[in-house]
Amino acid sequence: MEKLNKIKLISIGLLAITAFLPFVVLCMYNHPSVDDICYVQRAMEYGFWEHQYLRYMEWTGRFTSTFLISSYATLSSEFLGYRLLPLVFMGLLAWGLFYFFKSWFGSRLTDRMAGLMTVILLICFLYGMPEIVQSVYWMTGFVTYQLPIVLLLFLLGYILRKKPPLSLGLPLFLSGVACVFIGGANETTLLFLLIILFFLLGIWRVEYGQWNGFVVCLFFLTGMVALVVLLAPGNVVRGDGFALKHQLGFSILEALKTSVWFAKNKFLETPIPLLLLLYWPFANQLAETRRIQRNLSPVYTMVVSGLLYYSTFFPSYWSLGGPPPTRVLNLSYFLLLVSGLLSLQTILDYFQFKNASKWSIPNWGILTISALFIVFYLVKPNNITTAYQDWLSGSASEYQKEVQHRNTLIKSCPIELCRLPAYKNRPSTIYFDDITENTEDWRNKCYAPVYGKKKVRWQ
């Protein structure tokens, strides 16, 4: 048995190295997109604090993500360390998941098991993410949407680890700072946080028979952050021209239709079934040593998970009258993965609590079905094979040469109008956006002054 366990660990380790390797290598070829460069241009033109004010008044209420991105762009206008940012993010996400799983399951989950759950979930996430560049390699995207999720994992992990009464000193202050960043980063994670804190209050009331003052403070603080974000004048400006915005019935129905469609497609096209299948035997073992004595109803967990998942779709339909961008859909997919594991665990915990018979699957059945799933997923186009293609075909290295060549050309081209070659190589894993042939395009107007030019365009 011990030899078999070692073989399993080695197999998972090799699978993890194979899955993560191309994404690590591609970091060497990562460069800022034109949207990142815009933050440098605006800071140069208006000054740091004036840019914060104008952004809030004229474009968006997402004050914390604007602050962080502007800070990096201002302090490092040459984008030093940009290639390391995806590695930092992926490392923080892995750490956050590990910490959250350990907090959710408590002492019944070993470090090894928490590590395996984290690795397998990250592989599934990288495999099926709708568009990986917008959440991993594009700085503006991952600071706005993915970094708040990492902070949310740590915040929930901390709250779950503590029993009443929680300290209202430094821990509350740091947790409050986390809530301000999570809520102020974007409307989707703001809604996440409000839903989670609201239901956490209910869970603590059921489990401990009292209100959690710590969570109450965080809930009201997040409510104030919501007012700052949602009442920003820039939201009105940004929403101009969208005829279907702020139509409640339309937003509720369309968000529901899109969320069901997305969940169905992701369940059929990505390793979600395989993830649940591989997790099943471990879930049965964990159910025998559940942490919560007053066992949580699976309906409660599934309702919260469903609301969180739905909340990734509704804000876009409400504010802009259309479906969410792919960087938000990346969050939707991440929630499907995490909530799938937790919902399965809660169901098995519930039946164990009721002394019902366990739903078990024989090991030979799991191995057979898993082998079929793996073969099926390997032959389907996915982010991992695409990353290998971008790396091994030379597309990423050629793209880097083109970036370096353009940076050389822009130093010697005319100030009045600089004509630059369009990129021929655009590796989809790391390439996001660029200037156009139109000198009046917002991207071109951002790009030009950063390099000391009045106008730029493609040749």
Q: What is the DSSP string of 303-334?
A: HHHHHHHHTTTHHHHHHHSSPPPHHHHHHHHH
- Asked if residue 37 lies in contact with residue 450, where contact means CB atoms within 8 angstroms, the answer is yes
**41 CB neighbour count, 10 Å cutoff:** 20
pTM of the model: 0.90
Question: What are the contacts of 84-87 at 24+ separation with CB within 8 A?
Answer: 84/27, 85/30, 85/139, 85/142, 86/23, 86/27, 86/30, 86/136, 86/137, 86/142, 87/24, 87/27
The confidence score (pLDDT) of residue 452 equals: 87
Task: Write down the domain spans for the chain.
Answer: 2-389, 398-458
| Measured distance CA(247)–CA(143) in Å, rounded | 29
Query: By three-state DSSP, how is residue 431 classified?
Result: coil
Closest CA to 402 of 419, 433, 423: 423
- Per-10-residue mean pLDDT, the chain, length 459: 58 81 95 87 87 91 92 71 89 95 85 87 91 92 93 92 73 93 94 92 77 88 95 84 80 94 89 75 67 60 87 90 92 91 79 59 62 70 92 96 91 89 93 91 90 88
The confidence score (pLDDT) of residue 295 equals: 56
Residue 140 burial (C-beta neighbours within 10 Å; 0-12, 13-18, 19+): buried
Closest CA to 396 of 429, 443, 347, 353: 429
Closest CA to 77 of 46, 45, 36: 36
What amino acid occupies position 343?
A: S
Residue 418: strand pairing partners: 456
Cα–Cα separations (whole angstroms), residue 57 to 44, 45, 54, 240: 18, 17, 5, 14
CA atoms within 13 A on the CB side of 17: 5
The confidence score (pLDDT) of residue 4 equals: 45
Token representation of residue 167 = 């300290």
User: 362 preceded by cis ω (within 30°)?
Assistant: no
Cα–Cα separations (whole angstroms), residue 340 to 163, 179, 263, 283, 299: 26, 25, 11, 12, 13
**Residues in the chain, overall count:** 459
- Asked if residue 305 lies in contact with residue 240, where contact means CB atoms within 8 angstroms, the answer is no
- Asked if residue 284 lies in contact with residue 358, where contact means CB atoms within 8 angstroms, the answer is yes
Closest CA to 252 of 318, 195, 322, 190: 318
- Asked if residue 359 lies in contact with residue 348, where contact means CB atoms within 8 angstroms, the answer is yes
- Asked if residue 105 lies in contact with residue 288, where contact means CB atoms within 8 angstroms, the answer is no
The confidence score (pLDDT) of residue 143 equals: 92
**Diameter of the chain by CA atoms?**
79
Phi and psi (nearest 5°) for 78?
-90, 5
CA 449, 457, 32, 34 torsion-angle sign: positive
CA 193, 194, 197, 203 torsion-angle sign: negative
Quick one: angle between helices 85-105 and 147-161, nearest 10?
Answer: 20
| Measured distance CA(105)–CA(71) in Å, rounded | 37
Q: What is the pLDDT of residues 433-455, one digit of tens each?
A: 899 999 999 999 988 888 888 99
| Measured distance CA(409)–CA(74) in Å, rounded | 24
Give first-to-last CA distance, the chain, whole Å: 65
The confidence score (pLDDT) of residue 272 equals: 79
The confidence score (pLDDT) of residue 294 equals: 46
Element holding 456 (H helix, E strand): strand 456-458
Task: To the nearest 10°, report the CA torsion of 281, 286, 289, 290.
Answer: -130
